[in-house]
């Protein structure tokens, strides 16, 4: 924490960047000072510090660059992917920087601002019916790729997803907590890349650190024990029977991704804790109001679980919670439902408390 008697200073990063893509990663672990029980220390890894403001920037750049290295992606070839938003925004940034056309398929139930961000970055967005859930947008992307010879990013199946978390996210955690205690890492899953990549590293190099996985209370796919049906390529064949719609965008599609399956099969988590969507919304709001940290419903949900873990943890325990993105991605969702656009009574009273100019004055 800065000395209150001196002004803050900065000295630059000590390097110049050749591309926006070179700024991906090295996101900060930030201490929580005003929330949670006093007997533990909670940090959050704020992935909104990535250039397109989410953890999915990592997998987006690695999917494209791995495909370039292998020759699977040709110069000027169109990229297509199914996404709830963050991967699409990350891919739109990467494709804009590298000169690839991008088509995104996305269920119409996801927030409008995500569509606009992708289109702002040059992508075309094809909406699929809400009733078809994530499976609908996945199948549409598969159809478009097959019909047009486009490169399908395969975020839910590709090894490039967990690989980038193994080589960056996990290494950042090791570096930030080198020589220090780290008892728990708390994360949800979307594609499963974060928990799988972190798990590969922490199981070997910080085996004392427990990994806590979470999923929506009303979409407990992993907890159900019901195996996901897949085709020969590892893609889901059908919606998982335990899925129900939930408000935690970016978490838990209506199938168990192949990338996550590695973490499940190899035991890369120690406990699975469900969280209700309203609790995720409440804790995202608490982080904003009490810590000045703006995160989305997914981040609020992870933090809700981190607080549960903190309450039961031994004195002195240190917890790291993953915050996948920024709250600005949720302006049209229930996260901002009770945030008014117009002045409330208190604000009107403040305006009226001085004789100078105020709204409505002739």
Please give the sequence-ordered ranges of beta strands (E in DSSP) within 163-283, or none if there are none. Answer: 184-188, 210-216, 271-275
Eight-state DSSP code of residue 129: -
Q: What is the dihedral of CA 105, 107, 112, 116, to 10 degrees?
A: 0
Tokens matching residue 177? 């907590």
Cα(184)–Cα(190) distance, rounded to whole angstroms? 19
CA-wise closest residue to 24 among 2, 48, 50: 50
Residue with tokens 């997803």: 161
DSSP 3-state of 314:
coil
The catalytic position among 84, 111, 214, 298 is: 298
| Residue 56 is a catalytic residue | yes
Between the CA of residue 197 and those of 191, 201, 203, what are the distances in Å? 11, 7, 10
The catalytic position among 56, 133, 140, 210 is: 56
Tokens matching residue 346? 């208190």
Give the burial string for 213-224 (b: 16+ CB within 10 Å, else e). Answer: bbbbbbbbbbee
Half-sphere exposure of 104 toward its Cβ, with a 13 Å CA cutoff? Answer: 29
Eight-state DSSP code of residue 16: -
Cα(47)–Cα(252) distance, rounded to whole angstroms? 18
Eight-state DSSP code of residue 236: B
Q: Would you say 184 and 198 are in contact if contact means Cβ atoms under 8 Å apart?
A: no
Cα(157)–Cα(141) distance, rounded to whole angstroms? 14
Any idea which residues carry the catalytic annotation? Answer: 56, 298
């Amino acid at each position: 924490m800065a000395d209150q008697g001196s002004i803050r200073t900065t000295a630059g990063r000590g390097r110049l960047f050749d591309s926006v893509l070179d700024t991906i990663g090295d996101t900060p672990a930030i201490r929580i000072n005003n929330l949670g029980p006093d007997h533990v220390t909670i940090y959050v890894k704020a992935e909104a510090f990535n250039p397109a403001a989410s953890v999915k920037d990592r997998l987006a750049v690695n999917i494209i660059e791995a495909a370039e290295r292998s020759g699977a992606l040709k110069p000027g070839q169109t990229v297509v992917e199914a996404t709830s938003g963050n991967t699409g925004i990350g891919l739109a940034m990467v494709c804009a920087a590298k000169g690839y056309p991008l088509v995104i398929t996305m269920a119409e139930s996801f927030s409008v601002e995500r569509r606009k961000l992708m289109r702002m970055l040059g992508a075309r967005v094809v909406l699929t019916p809400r009733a078809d859930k994530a499976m609908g947008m996945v199948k549409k992307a598969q159809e478009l790729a097959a019909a047009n010879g486009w490169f399908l990013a395969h975020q839910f199946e590709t090894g490039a997803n967990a690989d980038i978390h193994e080589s960056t996210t996990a290494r950042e955690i090791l570096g930030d907590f080198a020589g220090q205690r780290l008892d728990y890492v708390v994360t949800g899953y979307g594609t499963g890349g974060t928990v799988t990549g972190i798990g590969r590293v922490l199981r070997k190099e910080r085996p004392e650190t427990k990994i806590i996985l979470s999923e929506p209370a009303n979409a407990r796919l992993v907890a159900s024990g019901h195996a996901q049906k897949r085709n020969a390529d590892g893609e889901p064949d059908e919606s998982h029977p335990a899925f129900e719609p939930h408000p935690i965008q970016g978490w838990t599609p209506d199938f168990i991704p192949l990338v996550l399956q590695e973490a499940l099969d190899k035991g890369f988590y120690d406990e699975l804790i469900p969280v209700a969507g309203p609790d995720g919304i409440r804790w995202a709001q608490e982080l904003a109001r009490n810590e000045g940290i703006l995160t989305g419903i997914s981040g609020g949900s992870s933090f809700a679980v981190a607080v549960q873990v903190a309450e039961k943890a031994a004195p002195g325990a240190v917890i790291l919670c993953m915050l996948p993105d920024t709250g600005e991605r949720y302006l049209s969702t229930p996260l901002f439902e009770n945030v008014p656009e117009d002045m409330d009574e208190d604000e009107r009273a403040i305006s009226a408390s001085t004789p100078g100019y105020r709204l409505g004055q002739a």
